[in-house]
Amino acid sequence: MSNKVPYEESQLYKIRHSLSHVMAQAVLEMFPEGKIAIGPPIEDGFYYDFDLPRPLTPEDLKNIEKRMRNILKKKHVFQRRELGAAEAKTFFAGQPYKIELIEGLEAGGVDENGEPLSASEPPVISTYKHDTFEDLCKGPHVDNLGEIHPRAFKLLKVAGAYWRGDEHREQLQRIYGTAWATPEELAKYLHRLEEAEKRDHRKLGKELDLFSTDADMLGGGLVQWHPKGGLIRHLAEEFCRKEHLANGYDLVYSPHIGKSTLWETSGHLGFYQESMYAPLVIDEQEYYLKPMNCPFHILMYKNDLRSYRDLPLRYAEWGTVYRYERSGVLHGLLRVRGFTQDDAHHFVQPDKMPEEIDFVLNFCLHILRSFGFTDFQAYLSTRPKGGKAVGDPEQWSEAELALEEALKRAGIPYDIDPGGGAFYGPKIDIKINDAIGREWQLSTIQFDFNMPERFDMTFIGEDGQPHRPYMVHRALLGSMERFFGVLIEHYGGAFPVWLSPVQAVLIPIADRHIAYCEEVANRLRAAGLRIEVDTGSDRMSNKIRLAQKQKIPYMLIVGDKEQEKDKVSLRLRDGQDLGPKDVATFEMMAFEAIASKA
Ligand SMILES: [Zn+2]
Ligand SMILES: [Zn+2]
pLDDT digits 0-9 by tens, 214-223: 999 999 999 9
Angle between helices 514-527 and 583-595 (to 10 degrees): 40
Please count the other Cβ atoms lying within 10 Å of the Cβ belonging to residue 215.
11
Query: Which listed ligand is nearest to 447 at the C-alpha?
Result: 2
User: 490 catalytic, yes or no?
Assistant: no
Q: Is the pLDDT of residue 364 over 90?
A: yes
Ligand 2 center–CA 263 separation, angstroms: 13
| CA count, 13 A, side-chain hemisphere, 435 | 16
Beta-bridge partners for 286: 281
CA–centroid distance, residue 586 to ligand 1 (Å): 62
Q: Which helix (H) or strand (E) holds 473?
A: strand 470-479
Give the amino acid at 240: C
- Show contacts of 323-331: CB within 8 Å, 24+ apart: 323/275, 323/276, 323/291, 324/274, 324/275, 324/276, 324/277, 325/221, 327/215, 327/220, 327/221, 328/165, 330/215, 330/220, 330/221
Whether 294 sits among the annotated catalytic residues: the reply is yes
Q: Strands (DSSP E) along 203-312, which ranges?
A: 211-214, 219-225, 250-251, 257-259, 280-282, 285-289
Give the number of the ligand closest to the Cα of residue 13: 1
pLDDT band at 481 (very low <50, low <70, confident <90, very high): very high
Distance CA 273, CA 260 (A): 11
238 dihedral zone (left: phi>0; alpha: psi -120 to 50; beta) = alpha
Selection from 490, 495, 484, 476 nearest residue 429 by Cα: 476
Distance CA 514, CA 498 (A): 26
Instruction: Give 121-140 as a DSSP string.
Output: SPP--EEEEETTEEEE----
Selecting among 427, 482, 551, 581, the annotated active-site residue is 427
Packing angle of the helix pair 353-370, 227-246 (nearest 10 deg) = 150
Does 473 qualify as catalytic in the annotation?
yes
Please choose, from the candidates 407, 404, 443, 441, the residue with its C-alpha nearest in 3D space to the C-alpha of residue 426: 404
| Stretch 293-297: mean pLDDT | 97
Ligand 1 centroid distance, CA of 23 (Å):
11
58-73 helix and 11-30 helix, angle to the nearest 10 degrees:
110
Per-residue model confidence (pLDDT) at position 200 = 97
Of 98, 201, 306, 323, the catalytic one is 323
Q: Max CA-CA distance within the chain?
A: 92
| CA–centroid distance, residue 113 to ligand 1 (Å) | 10
Of the listed ligands, the closest to the CA of 346 is 2
Catalytic residue among 341, 446, 503, 550: 341
Q: How far is the CA of 166 from the centre of ligand 1 (A)?
A: 23
Q: How far is the CA of 339 from the centre of ligand 2 (A)?
A: 14
The stretch 502-521 carries a mean pLDDT of 97
Q: How confident is the model at residue 109 (pLDDT cuts 50, 70, 90)?
A: confident
User: Residue 56, SS3?
Assistant: coil
Q: What's the confidence (pLDDT) of residue 121?
A: 66
Cis before residue 140, ω within 30 degrees of 0? yes
3-state class (DSSP) for residue 268: helix
Q: Give yes or no for residue 286 having a pLDDT over 50.
A: yes
CA of 98 to the centre of ligand 2 (A): 44
* 343 catalytic residue (yes or no): yes
Nearest to 226 by CA among 239, 242, 240, 207: 207
b/e for 396-412, b at 16 or more Cβ within 10 A?
bebbbebbbebbeebeb
CA of 451 to the centre of ligand 2 (A): 9
The pLDDT of residue 3: 52
Pairwise CA distance, residues 80 & 509, whole Å: 74
Report CA(344)–ligand 2 centroid distance (Å). 7
Q: Over 80: is that where the pLDDT of 198 sits?
A: yes
Quick one: DSSP state of residue 167?
A: T
**Whether residue 312 has a cis bond before it, omega within 30° of 0:** yes
Residue 111 pLDDT greater than 50, yes or no: yes
Q: Determine the Cα–Cα distance for residues 195 and 178; give it in Å rounded to an integer.
A: 16
Catalytic residue (one of 14, 306, 345, 543): 345
Proximal ligand: closest to the CA of 38:
1
Q: What are phi and psi of 571, to 5 degrees?
A: -125, 150
Q: State the distance from the centre of ligand 2 to the C-alpha of 306, rounded, in angstroms.
A: 20
Q: Cβ atoms within 10 A of the Cβ of 574, count?
A: 9
Separation of 146 CA from ligand 1 center, angstroms?
16
pLDDT at 348 over 90: yes
The residue among 176, 147, 172 whose CA lies nearest residue 40 is 176
Confidence of residue 139 (pLDDT cuts 50, 70, 90): confident
Q: Which ligand is nearest to the CA of 130?
A: 1
**Element of type H or E holding 533:** strand 531-533
Active-site residue, 563 included = no
pLDDT, tens digit, 9 for 90 and up, residues 412-424: 999 999 999 999 9
Q: How far is the CA of 117 from the centre of ligand 2 (A)?
A: 31
The whole-angstrom separation of Cα 353 and Cα 368 is 23
- Is 532's pLDDT higher than 50? yes
Given a cut of 50, whether residue 88 has pLDDT beyond it is: yes
The CA 473 to ligand 2 mean position distance, Å, reads 4
Ligand nearest to the CA of 452: 2
Q: How far is CA 180 from CA 4, 39, 71, 439, 497, in A?
A: 17, 17, 17, 18, 38
**Spacing, Cα 141 to ligand 1 middle (Å):** 6
Ligand that comes closest to the CA of residue 446: 2
What pLDDT is stored for residue 118 in this prediction?
65
* Ligand 2 midpoint to CA 288 (Å): 16
Contact (CB, 8 A) for 180 and 186: yes
Q: What is the pLDDT of residue 1?
A: 46
The catalytic position among 137, 240, 294, 364 is 294
The number of the ligand nearest the C-alpha atom of 80 reads 1
CA 201 to chain centre: 12
Q: What are phi and psi of 211, to 5 degrees?
A: -160, 170
pLDDT score of 119: 61
200 is catalytic: no
Ligand whose nearest atom lies closest to the CA of 342: 2
**Quick check: 53 and 181 in contact, CB under 8 A?**
no
Is 51 within 8 Å of 176 (Cβ atoms)? no
Query: Which residue out of 473, 482, 573, 581 is catalytically annotated?
Result: 473
> How much of the chain, in percent, has pLDDT values that exceed 90?
91
Active-site residue identified among 111, 343, 429, 448: 343
For residues 72-92, average pLDDT? 94
Q: 174 CA distance to ligand 1 centroid (A)?
A: 16
Alpha-carbon gap, residue 85 to 77, rounded angstroms = 25
Contact (CB, 8 A) for 509 and 542: no
Quick one: CA torsion of 160, 164, 166, 167, rounded to 10 degrees? Answer: -20
Active-site residue 548, yes or no? no
Neighbours of 583 (CB within 10 A): 17
